[in-house]
Structure 1
Amino acid sequence: MSQIQSQLIRYANPILPGFYPDPSIVKAEEYFYLICSSFEYFPGVPIFRSRDLIHWEQIGNVLDRVSQLDLTGQKSSDGIYAPALRYHKGTFYMITTDVRGIGNFYVTATDPAGPWSDPIRIPYGGIDPSLFFDDDGKVYVTAQQGADYDSHAIQYEIDITTGEALSEPQVVWHGDGGPWTEGPHLYKINGVYYMMSASGGTAKEHREIIGRSDQPYGSFERYPEPILTHRHLDHPIQYLGHADLVEDHQGDWWAVFLGVRLTEDGYSVLGRETFLAPVVWSEGWPHIDNNEGIVSLDMKVQRLTMASPSLSQSHTAIVVGRDEFDGELGPQWMFVRNPTEGTCSLTEKPGFLTLYGQAGGLGDVGPITFVGRRQQHIHASFTTCLTFMPVADREEAGLCIRRDEDAHYELGISRLDGRNVLLARLTVRGESNMVHEREIGTDQLWLRIESTEKEYRLIYSEDGQDWTFLCAGSARAISPEDFVHKMCFTGSVVGLYATGNGQASSTPAYFDWFEYSV
């Protein structure tokens, strides 16, 4: 048998660009599977697979029906927090928190592409629950509890078939004295139990810490330094933390974790993204990058030969090109909260996405009509062709870049005071400003938003050839760093929308295609 050779592996970080925070990963037979947080977006918890940890394909979304996830009334950056994915004896388990809904729960599947079960609720924990299957058949939940500097991890045993607690929760981990001990995971590696968590909050002080014990409840000897952070570095990748570990097919270890690519001005519209780095073991401790700069945008890693890439470049998690709206929406598309029946159709007019506006608009927390996907590049353009002839006053449809209710830019067609108009609107820190309004004599327009490091440019055309600039909005104002009323945990999402601005609309908005180009 030939000897396995090591090789220089090169790949680009982040492996999942765009708003894909809080990654969790498992290996199951020939594939790796990875999930991320989804917050107010539906369907929830995107799931990806890969053979080589580098090339990823989205195979679906874990929570894809109302019986699993009801987001009614949930504000942006509420909803689904920090899921954890585990695999045991042929079954996949996804455990998470619906923070303003049913709390902590898990779902199961034998096929990670779905369908997944209805939620099985568990009784204890704040946020960020994780599952651990021990060799003796016991199953433990480890979860965050408390807030700020009082944040810690609790742990208890459950019946994995029912979610019933089999023991009282015990405090097992206090972190390193910093605020927000979050995202705890329990592992057993070479007979040693490891408790790993984030600390410091998900900004510049973010870090990953670890402890070890010969018992699942500890006490855990804490390694004195973070095993992952860039908090002391002037580096293009910041906020590193919220990690999960996985062993590859050759016995090497890796970590996935969130990070942010900040601009020179200290913000990023893309939000928290998923990164990959090797784990190096020394004296029984795993190490990733403690202010050393190992995690880079261009990674070079000497490792044993990996499996051949399973996916062509056209099937990676980076989705560019034109969507003709033939057949079903791809798994990258999502709604703000649960979509209302009858407001979105791909069959009413074949080859078009048909949207009907609801009473709620882009600044409202109630049901709204918005179908979008994550922005994955700082420099990109988003274009659509819209046919819309509003008949009732304030009916509106168009193209939008969205952070949340307080920050979004849109251009489209509306009926105002008996006139059909082309509009451009900028909403910054909850204040909306109509910056362009002009009567038009056509029901068809080409709409485009161009993204740069500094701004979003709103542009339109009446023939798809000659383009007219309308206005520009600050990129910083769309970034999570510019929140006002509550912390923002999401990144920018570009989408197609319709609204009646106070009443339901009976006029269809037809979107012929959507194009994402870089």
Structure 2
Amino acid sequence: MTVPPRPVVPGFHPDPSVVRVGNTYWMVVSSFEYAPGVPLFRSTDLVTWQQAGHVLARPSQLDVSAAPGSGGITAPTIRFHDGRFWMITTNLADGGWQVLVHAEDPLGPWSEPVRLTEVRGIDPDLAWDDDGTLLVTYAGFGAGGPAGLVQQAVDLETGAALTERRHVWQGTGGRFPEGPHLYRIGEYWYLLIAEGGTERGHAVTIARGTSPSGPFEPCPHNPLLTHRGIESPVQNTGHSDLVQRPDGSWAIVFHGVRPRGASPQFHVLGRETFAAEVTWEDGWPRIGAWLVPTTDAVEVEELDGPALPDSWVSPRRFPEELLTRSDAGWRVSAADPDPASDELFFAGRRQEHLVARARAVVDASEGVGGLSVRMDARHHLDLEVDGDRVRAVAHVGVLRQVLGETTVATGDVVLEIRAVPDEGHFSSTALGPDQLVAGLVGGDGGFTELGRLDGRYVSTEVAGGMTGRLLGVWCSSGAIVVRSFRYTGSDEPAVVPAV
């Protein structure tokens, strides 16, 4: 297996926005229906990033309870102004449109939100004019749908719009001009945007003008970045943000996907964050060498402490609403189950590697639940412990298929799901992005497979939407106790042996 170029932040971490303060870079990404919202990362070199928590870390800041799959929080922007960090994003799930928060320390606490209810659209940007006026540039919505890239002056304290929205630059003709970021660099204001749609036609384009409101002159060598129509292991490149280093050089962060399998190929990890050098020629930026981690570090994460790792999230609710810590482990409860819903009470972490393994020791003597790999509520593969039975169950849309089952003694059961490379010829339609293998681990360490599923059925191309896979634990009734959970991931197959 050839290892493709690696992202700087792997897994479902799309729409990156970055700011540098001193020698530290801070980056935020979209989180959609998952809580906590807006993952926050920090780095000193733009290559090695560590998650530093979430910006929207409290229920008073974030309500995604009504979010459908790929609804909720989209395309945040982070900036530093007047001694404070500022973050703005859109919550499509609660009717309040834009969410604006600030903090003196990005590690928190972040303020309660100011809502920009007159700024109706997505992908808001923050920029301050020379006189200190806050300008919010965004992809506007109107009565008939998308209204293009627009801009309004906004009161920083109240969120009230100070001007009617005005149209700015609409890009080079690609569909869905969005993701704008506005910068003052030298004598010009530069407007960086995404267009072409976030699928294979995705691209980054840029324009400049002497006023932050335009008119804007497009760059003569647009698109600044795109992988449409080229042979590359990374596709769908777009939605970017520029940042200047302390030495005056520049870089860019952007997202892309790593599709695999037979045509039209499938991506399962979601849109991941990549980075590249930027050089300037004749007053315009150009993309240079990509910034790529030099080693394939094996990631191991265990759920064994008194607090959940920063990586853990839940759809439409905070994980703490489902999980409580006790001496016996983490108790996962199915609170207020809705018999009309196919949503499981799930908490977990993103699959961040092409090859991965999740193992959980669970006691389901008081309920039904287990281990799952999830794309959304309708596309997941579960290991279900129900009394003395363990089943591997595939959910693909409205279809539910038991792939295999066995009898076990009540008490602790060791469950494992593996994402392993698929085997076959690239011209075969049977070649998926990977194979998902679900089974039990015995007392001797041996693995018993209960079922496997072509990974395409837990991919974005099948499920639709904007997110990626998660691996975690779930409960559908009563409660289960998770004694331990361990995630191991790498882009090298040898780390997670096939079965």
Aligned-partner Cα distance in 2 for 1:163–1:120: 6
- With over 3 angstroms needed to count, the CA separation of the structure-2 counterparts of 1:87 and 1:430, relative to structure 1, is farther
Q: Does residue 1:93 correspond to 2:61, yes or no?
A: no
Aligned-residue RMSD, C-alpha: 2.4
* Equivalent of residue 461 in structure 1, options 441, 444, 451: 441
- With over 3 angstroms needed to count, the CA separation of the structure-2 counterparts of 1:446 and 1:424, relative to structure 1, is same
Q: Does residue 1:78 correspond to 2:34, yes or no?
A: no
Match of 2:475 in 1: 498
Equivalent position amino acid for 2:209 in 1? S
- Render the CA deviation track for 1:62-119: whole Å, top value 9, x for unaligned: 1111111111121110010000111112211110000121211211111111111111
Match of 2:413 in 1: 445
8 A contact 1:15–1:55 mirrored in 2 = yes
Structural mapping, 1:4-403, within 5 Å = 13-101=6-94, 102-122=96-116, 123-146=118-141, 151-224=147-220, 225-265=222-262, 266-288=265-287, 295=290, 320-339=299-318, 343-346=322-325, 348-349=326-327, 352-360=329-337, 364=341, 368-390=344-366, 395-403=367-375
Match of 1:6 in 2: none
Aligned-partner Cα distance in 1 for 2:183–2:26: 17
Alpha-carbon shift at residue 198 of structure 1 (Å): 0.4
Equivalent position amino acid for 1:490 in 2? T
8 A contact 1:258–1:274 mirrored in 2 = yes
Equivalent position amino acid for 2:483 in 1? F
Aligned-partner Cα distance in 2 for 1:184–1:491: 23
- With over 3 angstroms needed to count, the CA separation of the structure-2 counterparts of 1:150 and 1:334, relative to structure 1, is closer
Aligned-partner Cα distance in 1 for 2:42–2:444: 37
Match of 1:410 in 2: 382
- With over 3 angstroms needed to count, the CA separation of the structure-2 counterparts of 1:440 and 1:150, relative to structure 1, is closer
Identity over aligned residues, as a percent? 35
Aligned-partner Cα distance in 1 for 2:324–2:459: 31
Equivalent position SS for 1:61 = strand
- With over 3 angstroms needed to count, the CA separation of the structure-2 counterparts of 1:349 and 1:464, relative to structure 1, is farther
8 A contact 2:368–2:480 mirrored in 1 = no
* Structure 1: runs of 5+ lacking an equivalent: 1-10, 300-312
Equivalent position amino acid for 2:51 in 1? Q
Equivalent position amino acid for 2:246 in 1? H
- Render the CA deviation track for 1:351-404: whole Å, top value 9, x for unaligned: x211112354899376x52110010111121111112213xxxx4111100000
Aligned-partner Cα distance in 2 for 1:296–1:150: 34
Q: Does residue 1:427 correspond to 2:395, yes or no?
A: yes
Equivalent position SS for 2:157 = coil
Aligned-partner Cα distance in 2 for 1:114–1:298: 28
Aligned-partner Cα distance in 1 for 2:342–2:223: 39
Equivalent position SS for 2:121 = coil
Match of 2:431 in 1: none
- With over 3 angstroms needed to count, the CA separation of the structure-2 counterparts of 1:21 and 1:324, relative to structure 1, is closer
Aligned-partner Cα distance in 1 for 2:245–2:207: 22
- With over 3 angstroms needed to count, the CA separation of the structure-2 counterparts of 1:146 and 1:108, relative to structure 1, is same
Alpha-carbon shift at residue 405 of structure 1 (Å): 1.2
Aligned-partner Cα distance in 2 for 1:172–1:154: 5
Alpha-carbon shift at residue 340 of structure 1 (Å): 7.5
- With over 3 angstroms needed to count, the CA separation of the structure-2 counterparts of 1:326 and 1:150, relative to structure 1, is closer
8 A contact 1:150–1:179 mirrored in 2 = no
Aligned-partner Cα distance in 2 for 1:63–1:476: 32
- With over 3 angstroms needed to count, the CA separation of the structure-2 counterparts of 1:461 and 1:60, relative to structure 1, is same
- With over 3 angstroms needed to count, the CA separation of the structure-2 counterparts of 1:340 and 1:249, relative to structure 1, is closer
Q: Does residue 1:488 correspond to 2:465, yes or no?
A: yes
Aligned-partner Cα distance in 2 for 1:358–1:464: 36
- Render the CA deviation track for 1:274-311: whole Å, top value 9, x for unaligned: 0000111111111227xxxx548678xxxxxxxxxxxx
Alpha-carbon shift at residue 146 of structure 1 (Å): 4.1
Aligned-partner Cα distance in 1 for 2:409–2:439: 18
8 A contact 2:7–2:293 mirrored in 1 = no
* Structure 2: runs of 5+ lacking an equivalent: 422-433, 490-494
Aligned-partner Cα distance in 2 for 1:464–1:512: 18
Aligned-partner Cα distance in 1 for 2:338–2:57: 23
8 A contact 1:358–1:498 mirrored in 2 = no
Equivalent position SS for 1:52 = coil
- With over 3 angstroms needed to count, the CA separation of the structure-2 counterparts of 1:131 and 1:456, relative to structure 1, is same
8 A contact 2:35–2:319 mirrored in 1 = no
Equivalent position amino acid for 1:285 in 2? W
Equivalent position amino acid for 1:399 in 2? L
- With over 3 angstroms needed to count, the CA separation of the structure-2 counterparts of 1:194 and 1:370, relative to structure 1, is same
Equivalent position SS for 2:151 = strand
Aligned-partner Cα distance in 2 for 1:100–1:48: 24
Equivalent position SS for 2:457 = helix
- Render the CA deviation track for 1:130-158: whole Å, top value 9, x for unaligned: 10022321110001014899551111111
Aligned-partner Cα distance in 2 for 1:449–1:357: 22
Alpha-carbon shift at residue 36 of structure 1 (Å): 0.3
Q: TM-score, with normalisation over the residues of structure 2? A: 0.89
- Render the CA deviation track for 1:1-46: whole Å, top value 9, x for unaligned: xxxxxxxxxx963100110000000011221000100001100000
